[in-house]
Amino acid sequence: MKRILEWQIATVKSIRQETPKTKTFTLSLPNWVRHKPGQHYDVRLTAPDSYQAQRSYSIASEPERSGEIDLTVERIEDGEVSSYVHEVLVVGDQIELRGPIGGYFVWEASMGGPILLVAGGSGVVPLMSMIRHRAAVGSTVPMQLLYSSRTPEDVIYSDELMRLQYSQNGLGIIITFTRQSPSGWNGYKRRIDVPMLREVAGPLGNIAQAYVCGPTLMVEAVANGLLQIGLGSNQIRTERFGPTGSIG
């Protein structure tokens, strides 16, 4: 199982603008290794004077697509790496990375379910790899995605999620809008709270395994809420990103 993670040079095969703030980069890897949905890659940038910057980005694609991966990157205001890949990187460019990395926030169909996925903003990216993997292998494990987004235009993968919801048995997609919802929207329009978790997770029963990914405060609130509705802490896996605001 032990394996040294080597840096490799990938080539940008395509770039897709997902939302105003996010782009998906399809990268061809010379030393592709099958990943587990939920894992990430480290990206390393090197300037001519050897100055380097590194960041980690979640894999959005399913492991069944061999030879290449999708990384979906949110552009962070003043972000050193995210602004480079958003503004400078073009198709045909090379980029250095290593992975896949991470062994805990992962799900494969063989692990079974039912599965509750809870995403805040671009926290949907590693969960999308799980959803795509489930579809690719024809799994019927019950899976619910609860996805909190600020506005309709911020929903990443919206068309594909809607399509998968209709084509895949046992997959539910539930979106809540926290700032602005589409006109005529009769779904959730608030931050994720305990009653919402109870409604969404209830049908999965108390044996569900939960994966929660998003900004720190949202993940804290959701993980605590899941404990309140009766899930055990060993049924809740979390992945947090982004600033917390300084404490103290």
Partner 1 sequence: MVSNFISRGFTGKRRQPEAANRVPPGQYVTPDFPVLSAGPTPRTPLDQWTFAIEGLVREPVKWSWTEFLQLPAQSFVVDIHCVTKWSKLDTHWGGVSIDTLFEHIDLEPNAMYVTAFCDGGYTTNMPLVDIINGRSFIAYRYDGEPLPAEHGGPARLVVPHLYFWKSAKWIRGLRLTEKDKPGFWESLGYNNHGDPWKEERYW
Sites of contact with partner 1 (CB under 8 A): 2-9, 42, 44-48, 51-56, 78, 80, 84, 88, 93-96, 101-105, 216, 219-220, 223-224, 226-227, 233-234, 236-238, 240-248
- Of the pair 1, 20, the CB lying nearest partner 1 is at 1
Q: How far is the CB of 97 from partner 1 (least distance, A)?
A: 10
Nearest distance in Å: CB 192, partner 1: 14
Smallest distance from partner 1 to CB 90, Å:
9
For partner 1, give the closer residue by CB, 66 or 244: 244
In angstroms, give the least distance from the CB of 133 to partner 1.
Answer: 19
| Rounded least distance, CB 138 to partner 1, Å | 28
User: Which residues have CB under 8 Å from 98's CB, separation 6+?
Assistant: 5, 6, 7, 8, 41, 42, 44
Q: CA angle, 202 as apex, 199 and 205 as ends, to 5°?
A: 170
Q: Which is nearer to partner 1, 48 or 184 (CB)?
A: 48
The residue among 68 and 96 lying less far from partner 1, judged by its C-beta, is 96
Rounded CA separation 131/61 (Å): 9
Q: How far is CA 182 from CA 115, 143, 145, 146, 174, in A?
A: 28, 25, 19, 17, 14
Structure tokens at 138: 């024809």
Q: Are 118 and 212 in contact (CB under 8 A)?
A: yes
Helix (H) or strand (E) holding 222: helix 216-228
Query: With respect to partner 1, which residue has the nearer C-beta, 140 or 244?
Result: 244
CB of 55 to partner 1, least distance (A): 6
Among left, alpha and beta (phi > 0; psi -120 to 50; other), residue 205 is left
Closest CA to 59 of 105, 91, 90: 105
Instruction: Tell me whether residue 17 or residue 224 sits nearer to partner 1 (CB atom).
Output: 224
